[in-house]
Structure 1
Amino acid sequence: MTDIDEYLPRHLTLELQEALATARVVNLVGPRQVGKTTLVRDLFKQGRFITLDDAAILAAMEADPEGQLTSLSEELSDAPIIIDEAQRSPKLALAIKKIVDRNRRKGQFVLTGSSNVFTTAEVADSLAGRMQTLKLWPLTSAEVNRVPASRLIDWAMQSAPKLPQISDPAHLGRKNYVDLILMGGYPEIRALPLRSRQRQYRDYIDAVVDRDVADVMPVRKPDALRFLIDQMAARTAQEINTSELAKLAKLKRETVDQYLDILMRLSLVTKLSAWMPGESKRDIKQPKFHFVDTGIASALRRLNDRSFDIGNSPEALGGLLESFVVGELQRALPMQDEDYRLYHWRSADRREIDILIDGGHRLALIEVKAATTVAADDFKHLKWFANDGPGKGRSTVGIVFYLGQEKLTMGEGNFALPLSSLWTAVDWR
């Protein structure tokens, strides 16, 4: 890892600081190797750091969790105890609950792990008001470029967004975007040469299956789970019919649903539910799944910068690009002024919106195009949805992200934006 990768600023730092000031326990979850340990060690210059990846420490914690934690708490007056890979000890959660019930001091514990240690309803309910959970995702493009978090969602949710409020985006070409897709967002891996990077990403998935999955749920058929991961990488940005996937994997549908839940809890895949307008009864209700990191998805599919050329698989770029945009938007959500939720939408007659952001008072409708030019036809579903479809009578904005370099107004509250607008400065106040 280079110094520039190791110390890239993470936008979640402020959220983490605020959580420590308001909650007794902060639970920082996210995929393995995205930088959780680096973030908490860099943020907390004091405190006691222990990792349950150490077999001896894990054994001691399992033998007497309350005693071990009480002893550590007494050594530290106002600094946190930081427990890495906290999900490895099933007894940890209840022990922490007992301690923070006796001591109401904020910021007593920081837990990090690849999955949420507080999984039982009993423990989660008892810690209500005592614990805050945050998720650290792979790096965003804004973090890689050392610029502030994207505020593009807040921009879109204005009553009348204007293009001059968006600074001129970086002039990137198709090859630059393909490189971003292939690199992914894992700090230690993304800067490696392509062949080494993709080998490490594949090894990473093997390590997750071998080590992390068991912390969430025992899996009787790890080979079938590994097959399912490959299938999800090939199907990123698609609606998933679990019955069809079960036949393909030779598993029961219930097992496929369990495996998908594991992959979501380990932050390997994310799900966009279908947006429902309430009065409509014809909308397709299947969720759309996205592979969280396009670098890993590309590695599992053995894709390189030539894979998207004419004569190979140029259509493969579309799904990966859409998943890339979903990732950028999802990771920017905590930094917006208001709470927004991401969905997708498709009608029975196959009108489709790639990403729908619901702000309550306003909807942002987003299409992603793997092309360097845009045309009026690219906005037909956005305009129909807003004028004649479920968005009729509601406040909407339409955005088409594309691989060109110009930000354009397309009329009726619709805009074409270069993909690099996702990490461009926005000033709407």
Structure 2
Amino acid sequence: MMDNDLFPRHMTSMLTEALQSARVVNVIGPRQAGKTTLVRELYGRGRFVTLDHEATLTAFENDPAGQLEALMAEGNAPLIIDEAQRSKRLALATKAHVDLHRRMGQVLLTGSSNIFSSAEVMDSLAGRVQTLVLHPLSAAEIYRAPPTALLDWAQHSADLAALPNLPEFTRSEAIDLITMGGYPEIRPLDERARQRRYRAYIDSIVDRDVADILKVRKTDALRRTIDQLAARTANELNMQELGSNVGIQRQTAEQYCDVLERLSLVKRLGAWASGEVRRDIRHPKIHILDTGIASALRNLGADSFAADAHPAALGGLLETWVFSELIKNLPYADSEWRPWHWRGDAGREVDILLETGRELVAFEIKASTTITPADLKNLKWFMSEGPGKSWKTTGIIMYLGSQPLSLGDRLFALPLSVFWAKSWPKSHGV
């Protein structure tokens, strides 16, 4: 099994910069994504406490202000508080402390959810706290490559000649990336042990992390909800149908999805329209953000995606994998991009749509090694006749083939390996 510290995390430089410009830095992300390892390796000289220890948690709940004063590290090193979401009183105590002390990088928090999410605390800490999200490993981190510059390429050049040399890969390697997921300690295990660990991981999230945010009376219903979301990944989410299948009210289903999104386990992707006021939150797509978890919950292994197997399951998981890779790499792009999906009449849709200013990058995902004219139909219409025609739009089909292809004006087919190419013109400070 590989050691966690062998994986370079792209957030390293961003975290260092954040501690130089904010009094409090808050690193959130799912349990076991590597948050604790990252901050301890970078800032081992600082004081480290974890609220997973009951005695420490009790001390913080009884006197959070006193604990902060007593534990604050000497000099410029931050006080690191792990599993910060377990304390109900830490957020306000931290606010009071940094109101009195103006030094940057005083406190570094890690946790599975954001303790500063209440409107009262957020407003009063504006400009003093910076929150970063650490997801499980990206493909570039797994292959020890810099963050992908795919979106910068689409925005600034959109020319095959400007692409780096793309690593060769096999369909089997792509399947492994999908089914192994990105959790550093779990992904190297053999398939049976890995799937057991992922299922146990979800049980621990339901029993522990969710309880820090929401009191759930029937944890079995929440567990069934997660199973249903895994089965629906990359599909539009009908909340009424979800609640009916699980046996809960629609309002409860909404509440469960809100909590899972706060824990960075799922992401709802809104429907895009060319006018901002028309954008629709009623027809989101749902994505389980780690395809290793989604595969394990559905009991799908490498054999499930043999060449002669039904392609539907692979298509949804591949779309989710691409979406997750884009989300993991958004912080390192030159521009601020907002993710959407698009659906129109006559069955037309775009799987993933990224927007910045008046520019769009439209993605279609194909679980095949070849591209047919039918695969181009939706993107061509969207870009030439549909709502994308009045925008600067680049269309990209992500597929399992090995060759980048130019398919028309600003329309391309690209291999998955653009996500772990090692020779982009710049490495975004990593």
TM-score by length of 1: 0.96
Work out which of the residue numbers 72, 78, 85 in structure 2 matches 1:87: 85
Report the AA paired with residue 302 of structure 1.
N
Q: In the TM superposition, what is the alpha-carbon distance from 1:279 to its structure 2 partner?
A: 8.7
> Which residue does 2:58 correspond to in 1?
59
2:272 to 229, 252, 275: 275
How many angstroms does 1:383 deviate by? 1.1
Picking from 93, 97, 100, the partner of 2:98 is 100
1:312 Cα deviation from its structure 2 partner:
4.5
- Looking at structure 2, the residues matched to 271 and 225 of structure 1 have their Cα atoms a distance apart, in angstroms, of 17
How far is 1:78 from its partner? 1.6
Please tell me whether residue 426 in structure 1 is matched to residue 419 in structure 2. Answer: no
- Show structure 1 runs of 4+ deviating over 4 A: 279-285
Question: Aligned partners of 1:65 and 1:394: how far apart in 2?
Answer: 51
Partner in structure 2 of residue 196 of structure 1: 193
How far apart, CA to CA, are the structure 1 residues paired with 2:112 and 2:251?
A: 24
How far apart in 2 are the matches of 1:279 and 1:206? 39
* Aligned match of 1:25: 24
- Is 1:287–2:284 an aligned residue pair? yes
CA shift at 1:41, angstroms?
0.7
> Out of 326, 334, 337, which is 2:334 matched to?
337
**Cα distance, 1:168 vs structure 2:** 2.3
How much does 1:282 deviate? 11
C-alpha distance after superposition, 1:233-265 (max 9, x if no partner): 111000000011111111111100000001101
8 A Cα contact 2:272 2:279, kept in partner: no
- Output the amino acid matched with 2:298: R
* Closer/same/farther in 2, CA of residues 42 and 282 from structure 1, 3 Å limit: closer
**1:95 partner letter:** A
Task: Return the letter of the residue paired with 1:225.
Answer: L
- Distance in 1, matches of 2:385 and 2:311, equals 33
Structure 1 residue aligned with 2:131: 133
CA shift, 1:428, in A, is: 8.4
> What residue number does 2:374 align with?
377
Verify the 8 A CA contact 1:149 1:332 in the aligned structure 2: yes
3-state SS in 2 of match to 1:31: coil
Unaligned runs of 5+ in 2: none
Distance in 2 between residues matched to 1:212 and 1:190, nearest whole Å: 21
Partner of 2:353: 356
- Distance in structure 2 (CA, Å) of the matches to 1:207 and 1:45: 27
Contact 1:239 1:286 in 2 (8 A): yes
The equivalences for 1:23-422 within 5 A come to 23-73=22-72, 75-158=73-156, 160-278=157-275, 285-309=282-306, 312-422=309-419
Asked if 1:13 is matched to 2:36, the reply is no
1:266 Cα deviation after fit: 0.8
Matched residue type, 1:124: M
Q: Which moved more, 1:322-331 or 1:267-276?
A: 267-276
Distance 2:294 2:43 in 1: 33
Cα 1:93–1:281, aligned 2, differ >3 Å: closer, same or farther? closer
**For each residue in 1:95-154, what CA deviation from the matched residue of structure 2 results, as whole angstroms up to 9, or x when unmatched?**
111110000100000000011111221111111111000000010010011111111011
Per-residue displacement from partner, 1:161-192 (whole Å, max 9, x unpaired)? Answer: 11121122121121111111110000000001
* Contact residue 273 and residue 279 of structure 2 kept, 8 A: no
Deviation at 1:419, TM superposition (A): 0.9
Q: Which amino acid aligns with 1:11?
A: H
Q: CA deviation at 1:216?
A: 1.1
TM-score, scaled to structure 2: 0.96
SS of residue paired to 1:328: helix
Q: 1:386 to 1:280 in 2, by over 3 A?
A: farther
1:78, 1:287 → 2: CA distance? 44
> 2:288 & 2:340 partners in 1: Cα distance?
15
| Identity between Structure 1 and Structure 2 (%) | 54
Given that residues 21 and 107 in structure 1 are in contact (C-alpha distance below 8 angstroms), is that contact kept between their aligned partners in structure 2? yes
| Aligned residue pairs, count | 426
Q: Per-residue deviation at 1:271?
A: 1.4
Q: In structure 2, the residue corresponding to 1:306 is in which secondary structure?
A: helix
| Paired AA for residue 157 in structure 1 | Q
